[in-house]
Amino acid sequence: MIKIAVDAMGGDFLCDTTVKGSMQAIQEFKDIEITLYGDEEKIKPLLTNSERIKVVHTPKYVDMGEHDPVSYIRHNPDASLCMALKAGREKEVDAVVSAGPTQCVIVGAHLIVRKLKQMRRVALCPIIPSVDGRGRLMLDVGANIELRPEHILDLAVFATTVSHEILGVDKPKVGLLNIGTEKGKGRQVDQETYDLLEQSSEISFYGNVETKEILTSECDIFITDGFTGNMVMKTMEGTAKAMGKMLEEEIKSSFGGILGYLFMKKNLKRFKKRMDASEIGGAMIVGIPVPVIKAHGSSDAYAFKNAIRQARSMVEKDLINKVVSALPKKENA
């Protein structure tokens, strides 16, 4: 059995979506056991059965507006997120899933689970949409404001293994996000990173990639610092929502549009699904020895179920051990 810890109180809707999503996961995947960390009085009324699921009670949880993640994680070991992460560190579970505040999940993973000794940084890595429907990895999208070239190489090696094992890509191509495709573009750190990635025998380096090419590029992995990655990701999310709203307004603006919608209803649903983050589940915390998935704070039950599916897949593929084998050995990581 694959054992998964769930921060049942994490996210905008607390246990209302996390418990329902866990119930869906238990029903769909017969090889998982889930431990829910949270307020038992609020969780139990939402449980539809007790098969392969248990509750560890704690009334304390991280508020989505928490402004001091480091202090909170250090001083609240009995919070639901911290308890779930500790279970991962102690090998009581195989993976952890939370929809709690992003920085708290990242800080918690770093302080409680601790990073792999072969890694110099942890990072946040979502699977983003692509025109071919296969999805791509992008990292870092928020864990580190700045990264040195050697940090980015570590993350590229880690992501290469993830792309191969989780997305089924034979030889993943790594692209460095930059303001131009030519070598020599960007800041000094970008130029130094380009040289290091180009010289590496551990990855297949594609070169620089402009952000306008993300959805259509043949690259499988987009690598950058957390500040840039976060802005790119949120721009993509915002653009997708705005395009959907504009399309809806145009359809409703005329009888012909409404008539056309009736004929294209299935096509439009498929289009929405290809751009819908809930189909993916969440972003993985890269660089730690336990699979930790950060689901979106506004996840519904279906999206949270998919985050659990994502964690299950990482354990099933023995991803962490394969990453450790691929990473170069370091004396002082």
Superfamily the domain 121-277 falls into: Isopropylmalate Dehydrogenase (3.40.718.10)
Location of structure tokens 């976060």: 230
- What tokens appear for 29 in the block? 């995947």
Which burial class, exposed, middle or buried, applies to 31 when counting CB atoms under 10 A from its CB (0-12, 13-18, 19+)? Answer: exposed
* Confidence at residue 278, expressed as pLDDT on a 0 to 100 scale: 55
Among 56, 43, 44, 63, which residue's Cα sits nearest to residue 3? 56
Average pLDDT rounded to a whole number, residues 269-286: 70
Structure letter (DSSP) for residue 62 = -
Query: Looking at the predicted structure, is the pLDDT value of residue 138 above 90?
Result: yes
User: When comparing pLDDT for 329 and 282, which is higher?
Assistant: 282
Q: pLDDT averaged over the chain?
A: 89
102 has a pLDDT exceeding 70: yes
Instruction: Write down the pLDDT at residue 86.
Output: 97
* pLDDT surpassing 50 at residue 225: yes
Give pTM, 2 decimals. 0.87
User: What is the architecture, at CATH level 2, of domain 1-119+287-333?
Assistant: 3-Layer(aba) Sandwich (3.40)
Q: What is the pLDDT of residue 329?
A: 65
What confidence category does residue 324 fall into, taking pLDDT thresholds of 50, 70 and 90?
confident
Across the range 268-283, mean pLDDT stands at 66
Q: Would you say the CATH fold of 121-277 matches that of 1-119+287-333?
A: yes
pLDDT digits (tens, 9 = 90+) for 228-256: 999 998 888 888 778 778 877 878 788 77
Indicate whether 16 pLDDT > 70: yes
Percent of the chain at pLDDT above 70? 93
Highest mean pLDDT among 99-113, 228-242, 247-261, 313-327: 99-113
Name the pLDDT band for 332 (thresholds 50, 70, 90).
very low
Is the pLDDT at 264 greater than 80? The verdict is no
- Assign 333 a pLDDT band (cuts: 50, 70, 90): very low
Reduced to 3 states, what is the DSSP secondary structure of residue 327? coil
Phi, psi of 292 (to 5 degrees): -125, 125
Judged against a pLDDT cut of 70, whether residue 313 lies above it is answered with yes
Which of the two residues, 249 and 191, has the higher pLDDT score? Answer: 191
Contact 321, 162 (CB under 8 A): no
So what's the pLDDT on residue 274? 62
- Element of type H or E holding 313: helix 301-316
Mean pLDDT of 69-81: 95
Mean pLDDT of 94-118: 94
Show me where the domains of the chain are located. 1-119+287-333, 121-277
Q: Which residue has the tokens 């508020």?
A: 63
Kindly report, residue by residue over 23-47, the tens digit of the pLDDT. 999 999 999 999 999 999 999 999 9
Statement: residue 273 has pLDDT above 70: no
**For range 299-304, the mean pLDDT:** 92
